[in-house]
Structure 1
Amino acid sequence: MGAAMGGEGQGFPGRLAAVEMDGELPRREDLPLIFDELDHQMAVQAYLWSLPLVSYAQWQTQHREVFGATNYDLVRYLSYADRLGLITANATTPYILNFIDLGETGALLIEVGAGPTAGGFSDFWQREFGILGEMGPDQGRGGRHLVVPPGERVPDDTSDLYVHRATGNNIMFGFRALEPDPEKADALVATVRLTPFDGREAPETRIVAPDGRGWSGDQPRGLEYWVRLHEIHQREIVDERDRFFLAMLRQLGIEKGRPFDPDARTAALLTEATRVGELMAQANTFAKRFPGATYWPDRQWDLAVQMTNSAQRGEGYDELLERASWFYEAVSFSEAMKSQTPGQGQAYLGAYTDAQGKWLDGGADYTLHVPPGVPAKLFWSVTVYDVATRCLIDNEQQRGDRGSRDGELVANDDGSVDVFFGPTAPPGREDNWVQTIPGRHWFSYFRLYGPMESYFDRSWKLGDITPA
């Protein structure tokens, strides 16, 4: 047999530093310290694993408890204030969506009128399983979409339906009306109907607005994180790839069919684990260490989305840290977000530091130089988010972005644009300024809608966010 572990000068880290050895084994009196560390480590890993699930579960709770939305309603986020609870929201185009429990509705029929839309369906692990609108099978012609819950048989006659097999009991259905005319966009949204496929009576589909009500899609902190995870676990299927993580949850008191009632020890460990887990999530997100994360070697801009595909699967493994990185800082993913086809989809670049590699400080002034010829077929935008919430910055200005659709934006003589960030506007440059908040850090996304060839071959290069 190999040499025994333990002995003098073992030098265990953290709480295990107090463990003393009895020959080759730990003293029995110190076993509680070892089990505390074991449960703590499992809870931290479970936190990173469950970030996308808890994110959507939190947002679903806000829809129900704050907005009063049912499974059959749509919530429309139009104004800047509407989106302040939405993690890394686009400040340019409106969102229309809802979070639906198929365990309550059964197979769901969604009818959408003809018109320019982009949207789809994803489960609560934020894996896309269906597309509608111009990028989907209906190609913007509208139609009737049938969402079939996991394990249910697809009805025999679906010749006039677009059928989508859900990969979870809880789903997000969302879309954007791409119609630029507000009246036509309103009319298009009003065509959408959600009803049970089996013909059961359901409430009329309403278009619900936040109407100034405060809300947050940010994952809860402390013990509330685990309360949300326990609640959604009761209403979800068991995915084969997650069974070891579910074993960890079981050890922590989160189990199907059983109440979550942690004792004082477990509650303290779980509360500590959310703090440590979020610290790791912040490092994993704001200082990405994935191969090829930096888009240009001499710039601070990262590819914000590190997942390979909507299934969150790499070659021979599932993308745990890549997934945790994206779903700590953002919500939802579609294949269009990583388009490799010039003129289609979107590109997302993230800047978490300035040109010198320092965190972006809300009390300092910065400039971003956007060279001419931005390779975006449709438009581009640069947006500011609060690090603590990952939501749009809640500044007095009540705007967090500037971009090519901004009629106020002033370009330089050569077609380039300078965007300014700071607590006060540079004299005479208010049109190109986004206000930041002293005492709070921030980060930024640069989005290209319909990225073109010079983006993909990197011959066009965005400037860094540079201290003034």
Structure 2
Amino acid sequence: MVASVNERDRFYMAMLASLGIEKGKPFNPNENQRKALEQGAQLGELIAKANSFAKRFPGAQYWKDRQWDVVLNITEPSQRVPFYDQLWERSAWFYEAVTNTKGMVSKTPGLGQTYLGAYTDAKGNWLDGGKNYRLHVGANPPAKQFWSMTVYDIESRCLIDNPQRKADLSSRQDLKKNADGSVDLYFGPTAPKGFENNWVQTLPGKHWFSYFRLYAPTEAYFDKSWKLDDIAAVE
């Protein structure tokens, strides 16, 4: 059985065919082709990183005075809008994550989930595994079910692989809270004394990014009356 090609991918297949890459045929690149393809792959990786970690889509920055981005800028799972498919939005999302559903882009309070991404600190500097950071989560986060904060490795886009064997902090855990119900989360090579349960270990020499998820987000998220602070470097 010959696998079919999605209609929207047929032009991509034509581009590959012009390079000598066709289904069912051997690919034997010469030295110049091999070098060009390797360079193209490296450039493609840089484009993918810029497209994902420095988003320029309209409305991607959720709060104008915060660094948090809307991670999933796809209108619906088909990635189709009236006159075109969301090529760059699709490639941004699927470079750093997998799968999407209507629940992930729901605008109905109390249903689905929402994903906010941070790639830089409050000053716009890339998150550095050798530095220490704090995230203040204000009281009463707008999540009917729970919230979570997860740390990922920039290169693999997988959960951070640290000696602590932990990448996630959430309201389902026994976190140390402040008197007003807010929570301070910490990220860095070593745990701050007294806040070990509120800490995720990062790795010197590696950069990281994070998703802050709200499950069953409430009206305070959608009307932006509740704001999440930026990740701040701790001097």
TM-score, structure 1 normalization: 0.49
The answer to whether structure 1 residue 462 and structure 2 residue 217 are counterparts is: no
Structure 2 residue identity aligned to 1:410: K
Structure 2 residue identity aligned to 1:264: E
- Report the counterpart of residue 77 of structure 1 in structure 2: none
Q: Distance in 1 between matches of 2:30 and 2:99?
A: 35
- Report the counterpart of residue 425 of structure 1 in structure 2: 191
Any idea what the Cα deviations from partners look like across 1:74-107, whole Å, max 9, x if unmatched?
A: xxxxxxxxxxxxxxxxxxxxxxxxxxxxx6xxxx
Identity across matched positions, percent: 60
- Report the counterpart of residue 195 of structure 1 in structure 2: none
- Report the counterpart of residue 282 of structure 1 in structure 2: 49
The answer to whether structure 1 residue 342 and structure 2 residue 109 are counterparts is: yes
Structure 1 position 263, deviation (Å)? 2.0
The answer to whether structure 1 residue 385 and structure 2 residue 132 are counterparts is: no
Q: Distance in 1 between matches of 2:192 and 2:5?
A: 54
Structure 2 residue identity aligned to 1:286: F
- Report the counterpart of residue 216 of structure 2 in structure 1: 450
Structure 2 residue identity aligned to 1:457: D
Q: Which of 331, 346, 351 is the equivalent residue of 2:98?
A: 331
* Residues 399-410 of structure 1 mapped to structure 2, 5 A cutoff: 399-406=166-173, 408-410=174-176
Q: Distance in 2 between matches of 1:347 and 1:315?
A: 24
Q: Distance in 1 between matches of 2:3 and 2:130?
A: 44
Q: Distance in 1 between matches of 2:153 and 2:127?
A: 10
Structure 1 position 257, deviation (Å)? 2.2
The answer to whether structure 1 residue 439 and structure 2 residue 205 are counterparts is: yes
Q: Secondary structure at the match of 1:266?
A: helix
Q: CA RMSD in A?
A: 1.0
Q: Which of 288, 303, 306 is the equivalent residue of 2:73?
A: 306
Q: Distance in 1 between matches of 2:190 and 2:6?
A: 50
- Report the counterpart of residue 124 of structure 2 in structure 1: 357
Structure 1 position 445, deviation (Å)? 0.2
Structure 1 residue identity aligned to 2:44: G
Structure 1 window deviating more from structure 2 (292-301 vs 257-266): it is: 257-266
Structure 1 position 260, deviation (Å)? 2.3
Structure 1 position 245, deviation (Å)? 1.4
Structure 1 residue identity aligned to 2:46: L
Q: Distance in 1 between matches of 2:29 and 2:39?
A: 14
Q: Distance in 1 between matches of 2:220 and 2:79?
A: 27
> Can you give the 5+ residue segments of structure 1 that lack an aligned partner in the other structure?
1-102, 104-234
Structure 1 position 428, deviation (Å)? 1.1
The answer to whether structure 1 residue 240 and structure 2 residue 33 are counterparts is: no
* Residues 21-170 of structure 1 mapped to structure 2, 5 A cutoff: none
Structure 1 residue identity aligned to 2:23: K
Structure whose CA Rg is larger: 1
Q: Distance in 2 between matches of 1:315 and 1:307?
A: 13
Q: Secondary structure at the match of 2:34?
A: helix
How many pairs does the alignment contain?
A: 234
Structure 2 residue identity aligned to 1:437: L
> Can you give the 5+ residue segments of structure 2 that lack an aligned partner in the other structure?
none
Q: Secondary structure at the match of 1:347?
A: strand
- Report the counterpart of residue 177 of structure 2 in structure 1: 411
Q: Which of 375, 381, 398 is the equivalent residue of 2:142?
A: 375
Structure 1 position 236, deviation (Å)? 3.3
The answer to whether structure 1 residue 272 and structure 2 residue 39 are counterparts is: yes
Q: Secondary structure at the match of 2:20?
A: coil
Q: Distance in 2 between matches of 1:389 and 1:379?
A: 26
Q: Which of 317, 323, 328 is the equivalent residue of 2:84?
A: 317
Any idea what the Cα deviations from partners look like across 1:385-407, whole Å, max 9, x if unmatched?
A: 0001000000010001101011x
The answer to whether structure 1 residue 263 and structure 2 residue 30 are counterparts is: yes
Structure 1 residue identity aligned to 2:76: N
The answer to whether structure 1 residue 297 and structure 2 residue 64 are counterparts is: yes
Any idea what the Cα deviations from partners look like across 1:292-351, whole Å, max 9, x if unmatched?
A: 100000000000001111111123111111011000000111111111111111100000
Q: Distance in 2 between matches of 1:332 and 1:260?
A: 30
Structure 1 residue identity aligned to 2:187: F
Structure 2 residue identity aligned to 1:425: A
Q: Distance in 1 between matches of 2:210 and 2:198?
A: 15
Structure 1 position 269, deviation (Å)? 1.2
TM-score, structure 2 normalization: 0.97
